[in-house]
Amino acid sequence: MRLTFAVTDVSKLVITADAVEQMLAFAQRSWYQREAGGVLLGRHLLDSSDVVVDEVTTPQRTDKRSRISFFRSTNHNRIAQEKWKLSNETLAYLGLWHTHPERDPTSSTVDRNDWECAVATHAFHGDRLYFPIVGTDRIRVWTKAKAEPVRELLLLP
C-alpha cells in the first residue's frame, strides 16, 4: 500500500509500499511491543517538487526503546551515509520515523522538539524533512522546513 501526502499545492510526498511495509512491521499492536523508528531514505524527483521515500532504516540494537519512548542511535546515520554513497548520491536522507502505541498517532512535545532539532542541525537535501508516526491503525506525517513551523500533511486518496 503506497501512501501519498500533499506537501503544497504542487508537491507531494510518496511513501512506497516497501517503505510502508518496513514501518508497519514495527507497529505496536501488542502491549509488550516497544517504540521503534529510523530514518527515511529516498529521492527528490527531477523536474518535479515531489519526494519519494523508497526505504527506511529499522531499529538498531544500539537504539534505546521502551513502550512510550524511542531514542535513535547514530547507527542510523551511518547506514544512511553508506546508502547515499552506494547509490551514487541519489538515495537521500529525508527525515525520521517512529511508532506510537495508539490507533491514530499524535505528535508529542518531545517529537516536535526532536523534529525542530533535526531540521536545525542535520545535513539534508531539499528544503524540508518529513516525520511519519506509525500508529496501530494509521500513519500520520508531519513536515518541517527551516522557515516554517511543524505542520501535518494531508493524506491524498
Which option is the CATH number for 3-152: 3.90.1300.10, 3.40.140.10, 3.40.1710.10, 3.40.50.2000? 3.40.140.10
Average pLDDT over residues 10-25: 97
Per domain, the residue ranges of the chain are 3-152
Q: Look at the block and give the residue holding cell 538515495.
A: 91
Active-site position among 35, 82, 102, 148: 35
Query: What is the per-residue pLDDT across 88-103, written as a single tens digit (0 to 9) for each?
Result: 988 999 999 999 999 9
Q: Is 148 a known active-site residue?
A: no
Three-state secondary structure of 108-137 = CHHHHHHHHHHHHHCCCCCCEEEEEEECCC
Q: Is the pTM of this model over 0.85?
A: yes
